[in-house]
Every structure is written in structure tokens, then in C-alpha cells.
């Protein structure tokens, strides 16, 4: 399936997390039933902490924002203004039926898009997500990955820190990783314009979709 065969949706402003979750789940059911096109949905949320299926209560340090059960894999994550969220409703039944390949390809897509903005990012062995070097030279997380697959249709996706309030992350142990900081494009002194990042995602999207059919050995 070509990039032109799916819906590419950009929602301006802030979208309530629970409402977005409900809409995404309905779309996934329709895609699984063959009643709707696949979807790439780019949006932002008001401040919220989301709990994945592996979230531990002791990793919620300060519930200063609403806490919502996301239903995805992973642990606690923060979403808020200045962070680009990408929800992917894709039919893996037509794209190789390989969840590991999907996650790997999704990481690669975000790394490629950040490279278009002159932000060097990379995978870190044993730590899902997108990593870079912060201003102090430490490995720091700039993007999170959290997915769910039902009937071979994907839900959720990624979040990339462009210019969020990084202090908001201190209410949780982000993704259960306490030993590494989070950072953002703004904190790195890099371009953090959300429209520019969306354009970088669009530019690199075709390679991402093509990589989903990989049955080959995944290189790390």
C-alpha cells in the first residue's frame, strides 16, 4: 500500500487524550473490518500522564496532571503541549505481520525525521525509544514509542519532544527509566517548529512504510 492510500491527518490545537483514544480505537476496528483506510494522525495533547500495561504505581511520583490508562504497552509517559504525537492505525496483516519489525521501523522513521532537522538521534540497546546526546553530553530520551496491536492493526505510536515543559516529566519515572534524563529539540538549541517536524515526517514516511514489509533480519 502506498502513502497516498492512507489518511494523513494533522489536528491543530490540543486534543483531549481520552477522546483521541476513543477515536483511534474506533478507527482501528474499522480498519480491521476493511471499512476504513489506514491512518497517520499527528496531534498534541493537554498535559496528561498515560499509563501503559506495565506501569508500576511507584513510578507515578506526583499526579499533578490527569492520569489515563492508555491500553498500550510500556509504562508511564507524559504528553503535553510542544510534543508531537503520532498515532498510527496500520494494517500489519498487509505489511508482513511482524510487530518487532514495526517497532524497529517506527524508531527508524523518527530518527530519520530528526536527522532532517539536524538532530542526531539513535537507538539504545535494551531501551525502546529515541535517544540523543543532551547539552551535557549525556544520553537522553527525546522520543518515546508505545504501541498496541489488535487483530494485526496497530494503535498508538510515538511522541517526540520538540518544546514541551521538561519539568512536567518529573511527576513520573518516564517509561520506567530513572537513570537517563529526557530532553527536547528546544533544549538542544535545535529547530523545534512543529510544522517543520511534520514536514520531515512526511518526507521520510515512504521509506518507513516500505520498511514495514521486512521479513529479513533486522539490523540494529
Residues marked as catalytic = 175
Give the strand order in the sheet containing 67-69. Answer: 67-69, 48-51, 76-79
Q: Following CA atoms 37, 209, 121, 74 in sequence, which dihedral angle do they give, to the nearest 10 degrees?
A: 50
- State which H helix or E strand residue 110 sits in: helix 99-116
Using DSSP, state whether 68 is helix, strand or coil. strand
Instruction: Please state, in angstroms and rounded to a whole number, the distance separating the CA atoms of residues 141 and 168.
Output: 14
- State which H helix or E strand residue 145 sits in: strand 139-150
Amino acid at each position: 500500500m502506498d502513502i497516498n492510500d492512507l489518511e494523513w491527518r494533522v489536528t491543530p490545537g490540543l486534543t483531549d487524550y481520552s477522546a483521541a483514544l476513543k477515536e483511534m480505537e474506533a478507527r482501528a476496528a474499522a480498519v480491521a473490518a476493511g471499512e476504513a483506510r489506514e491512518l497517520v494522525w499527528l496531534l498534541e495533547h493537554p498535559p496528561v500522564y498515560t499509563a501503559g500495561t506495565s506501569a508500576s504505581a511507584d513510578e507515578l511520583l506526583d499526579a499533578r496532571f490527569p492520569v489515563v490508562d492508555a491500553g498500550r504497552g510500556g509504562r508511564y509517559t507524559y504528553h503535553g503541549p510542544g510534543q508531537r504525537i503520532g498515532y498510527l492505525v496500520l494494517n500489519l496483516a498487509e505489511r508482513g505481520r511482524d510487530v518487532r519489525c514495526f517497532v524497529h521501523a517506527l524508531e527508524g522513521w523518527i530518527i530519520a525525521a530528526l536527522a532532517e532537522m539536524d538532530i542526531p538521534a539513535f537507538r539504545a540497546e535494551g531501551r525502546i525509544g529515541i535517544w540523543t546526546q543532551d547539552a551535557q553530553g549525556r544520553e537522553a530520551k527525546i522520543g518515546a514509542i508505545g504501541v498496541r496491536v489488535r487483530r494485526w492493526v496497530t494503535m498508538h505510536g510515538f511522541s517526540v519532544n520538540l518544546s514541551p515543559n521538561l519539568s512536567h516529566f518529573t511527576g513520573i519515572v518516564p517509561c520506567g527509566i530513572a537513570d537517563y534524563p529526557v530532553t527536547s529539540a528546544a533544549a538542544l538549541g535545535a529547530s523545534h517548529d512543529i510544522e517543520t517536524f511534520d514536514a520531515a515526517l512526511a518526507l521520510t514516511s515512504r521509506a518507513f512504510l516500505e520498511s514495514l514489509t521486512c521479513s529479513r533480519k533486522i539490523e540494529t
